[in-house]
Amino acid sequence: MNLPMRPAFVALGANLADPVIQVRAALEALAELSGSRLLRASSLYRSAPVGIRGQPDFINAVAAVETSCGPQEFLAALFDVEARFGRRRDFHHAPRTLDLDLLLFDDLVIDSTRLTLPHPRMHLRAFVIVPLLEIAPQCQIPGRGQAEAWLPAVSMQPIARLVGQPA
């Protein structure tokens, strides 16, 4: 039986252990997830860490994926990928080898202890909105409207597309 494929968007970020290589390898890992297919990936971007000073900059990207998994199952698969990359959760905003955030899953709105969709801060982060709009310029954030409408809210956050680093 073929399960229907549903669209999802995933934010990728890393600031440890050669983050460019980490994000590229994570995109390959997303492409290999069972029941899923990587559709598009943004360019790579450099951004300053949020929350704690003195960390290395992050390398970020956003990926568009199609999956036959449900949202909870897909989130679990993302956590498995993070674990394979050595992700640790020592403290909030800790440096990381890989961070995968499920931003959007179809047009679902979920508010549970394990999963909140859309991601509750995605519209407030340049490192999410800018790469998201690169691959999905018409993207709608359920309950928040056009993703593009949030560009002014993040315009003061430094972010730079890496030249010569296609995703």
121 within some domain: yes
Contact 60, 45 (CB under 8 A): yes
Residue found by looking up tokens 């990381």 in the block: 96
In this prediction, residue 89 carries a pLDDT of 62
pLDDT at 88 over 90: no
pLDDT at residue 66 greater than cutoff 80: yes
pLDDT surpasses 80 at 87: no
Q: Count the domains in the chain.
A: 1
Q: 87 catalytic, yes or no?
A: yes
Among the residue ranges 24-33, 50-59, 82-91, the one predicted with the least confidence is 82-91
CATH of the domain at 90: 3.30.70.560
In a domain, 71, yes or no: yes
Q: Would you say residue 61 lies in a domain? A: yes
Instruction: Give 143-166 pLDDT, tens digit per residue.
Output: 999 999 999 999 999 999 998 755
Identified catalytic residue from 87, 107, 111, 114? 87
DSSP string for residues in 15-40:
-SSSHHHHHHHHHHHHHTSTTEEEEE
Residue 32 lies in a domain: yes
For residue 50, being part of any structural domain is answered with yes
Q: Is residue 166 situated within a structural domain?
A: no
For range 37-62, the mean pLDDT: 92
- Give CA–CA dist 10/13, Å, rounded: 10
Partners of residue 41 on adjacent β-strands: 63
| Active-site residue, from 57, 101, 114, 125 | 101
The parent domain of residue 90 ranges over 6-161
Whether 1 is covered by a domain: the verdict is no
Q: How confident is the model at residue 52 (pLDDT cuts 50, 70, 90)?
A: confident
Tell me if residue 53 is catalytic.
no
Around 67, how many Cα atoms within 13 Å sit in the side-chain half-sphere?
Answer: 26
Query: Is 23 part of any domain?
Result: yes
- Choosing from 89, 96, 107, 114, the catalytic residue is 96
Phi, psi at 73, each rounded to 5°: -65, -40
The yes-or-no verdict on residue 1 having pLDDT over 70 is: no
88 is catalytic: no
Q: Does the annotation mark 96 as catalytic? A: yes
Higher-pLDDT residue of 24 and 167 is: 24
pLDDT in tens, 89-128: 665 556 788 999 999 999 999 999 999 999 999 999 999 9
Q: Is the pLDDT of residue 31 over 60?
A: yes
Q: Among 6, 24, 46, 99, which one carries the catalytic annotation? A: 99
Q: What is the C-alpha to C-alpha distance for residues 39 and 31, in angstroms, rounded to an integer?
A: 8
Strand, coil or helix: 130? helix
